[in-house]
Amino acid sequence: MVHDIQKQAAVTSFDVAKIAGVSRSAVSRAFTTGASISPETREKVLEAAAGLGYRVNLVARGLNKQRTDLVGLIVSALSTPYRAMQIDALAKQLVRDGFRPMLFCIDESMREEQLLSILLNYQVSGVVITSDAPPVAICEECARMQVPLVLIHRMDNLPFVDRVNGDDLKGGRMAADVLVQSGRRHLIAVKLEDPGYSGIARISAFHERAAELGIPSGDISVLGDEYEGGVAAAPSVLEQLDHFPGVFCPSDTVALGLLDTLRNKHAIRIPEQLGLIGYDDIPQARWAFADLTTIRQSVEDFAQVTVELLKDRIKNPDTDPHIKIVDVTLVMRGSV
């Protein structure tokens, strides 16, 4: 038996307004964060919308007003625990403030013009870049088109680009202080092959503070990325155990790679034979096997500051660029 299937017409805001007994503009305000509308009217609109199965077409709305509520999140190395925490916090904060995050994970295969086309075609309200090495063309094009752009852990000098950084200078100096206070008389920083802006700043501040305290310090430069870099640093650290060293890693993931290798492969006792401190305070740092002393930078604080900068840039597109510094704190555990 053949049945005739009629396609149901899409429900519009006019349908919702008719059922709710309100104007079409009231329907629009009911679905707009921060819009002026009474609780009673909003409730009537939402009830009517739910009954009809109405959903707001955010893209169409954005085309009408030249901007959507979409915000592009451009990220690399999403597999690292800290970056995953960071994106989770950013996405939640954006939603709380009435935006809709769009995630783009970039790598060497992603062409710059392809990503730019996607972002601009969606009429995004803004862009947040968290990767250590975002394509410069994206930054320049967003600035040229006056699409609000916030860079995290970057110091690029571009017009109309706002930046958020952790207090890496304080964090690096704090790491040196806690290791020296624990009795270490020789300090080592593990330096990755491509440390990025934040890693360079933290290690530089670490050595600067060691020099002020009159404590010798040096680098162990390693190939590899994050955890693998920590593993690669282990042989060089072993050569310096006689100096009762204090070791600083620019991220917890690096520190965990070093800690695992020293304990499990070489039976090194931490903190008895060396002190170890990481950076970021990822969840794994507080697991019992690690008990890692670290410098904490709150992803929630980063997210709040980032979205506030984005909102301010949307309202005031011609103001001078802002640089916000997020505070860091010491988390003492058993590795020092």
In DSSP notation, 34-61 reads T----HHHHHHHHHHHHHHT----HHHH
Q: Is residue 3 part of a domain?
A: no
Backbone angle region of 77, left / alpha / beta, with phi > 0 → left and psi within -120 to 50 → alpha: left
The answer to whether position 285 is within a domain reads: yes
Given pLDDT bands bounded at 50, 70 and 90, which one contains residue 67?
low
The residue among 107 and 76 whose pLDDT is bigger is: 76
More reliable by pLDDT, 216 or 142: 216
Q: Across 23-171, where does the E strand assignment appear?
A: 70-75, 100-105, 126-129, 149-152, 161-166
CB neighbours of residue 60 within 10 Å: 9
The verdict on 71 and 144 lying in the same domain is yes
User: Do 204 and 285 lie in a common domain?
Assistant: yes
Q: C-alpha angle 41/46/49, rounded to 5°?
A: 125
Q: Determine contact, residues 253/84, Cβ cutoff 8 Å.
A: no
Please tell me the pTM assigned to this model. 0.78
The number of distinct structural domains making up the chain is 3
**Do residue 202 and residue 225 come from a single domain?**
yes
- Does residue 331 fall inside a structural domain? no
Coil, strand, or helix at residue 7? coil
Residues 179 and 274 in one domain: yes
Cβ count near 205 (within 10 Å): 20
Q: Is residue 29 part of a domain?
A: yes
- Has residue 6 been placed in a domain? no
Across 65-85, average pLDDT? 80
Residue (of 141, 130, 88) closest to 299 by Cα position: 88
- Statement to judge: residues 134 and 206 lie in one domain: no
Binned at pLDDT 50, 70 and 90, residue 59 comes out as very low
Which CATH number is 178's domain given? 3.40.50.2300
pLDDT at residue 69 is higher than 50? yes
Whether residue 8 lies inside any domain: the answer is no
Mean pLDDT across the chain, nearest whole number?
86
Categorize the per-residue pLDDT at 156 as very low, low, confident or very high, splitting at 50, 70 and 90: low
Q: Based on the domain organization, do 192 and 281 belong to the same domain? A: yes
| pLDDT above 70: residue 135 | no
Residue scoring higher pLDDT (270 or 122): 270
CATH number at residue 29: 1.10.260.40
Taking residues 170-188, report their average pLDDT. 97
151 and 236 belong to one structural domain: no
* Claim to verify: residue 36 and residue 79 sit in the same structural domain: no
Please indicate, yes or no, whether residues 38 and 187 belong to a single structural domain of this protein: no
**Residue 196, domain member (yes or no):** yes
Give the structural domain span for 311.
66-165+299-324
Q: CA-CA distance, 169 to 215, in Å (whole number)?
A: 18
Given the DSSP bridges, would you call strands 329-331 and 293-296 parallel, antiparallel or unpaired? antiparallel
Same domain, 143 and 236: no
Q: Is 92 in the same domain as 153? A: yes
Do 286 and 173 share a structural domain?
yes
Q: Is residue 4 part of a domain?
A: no
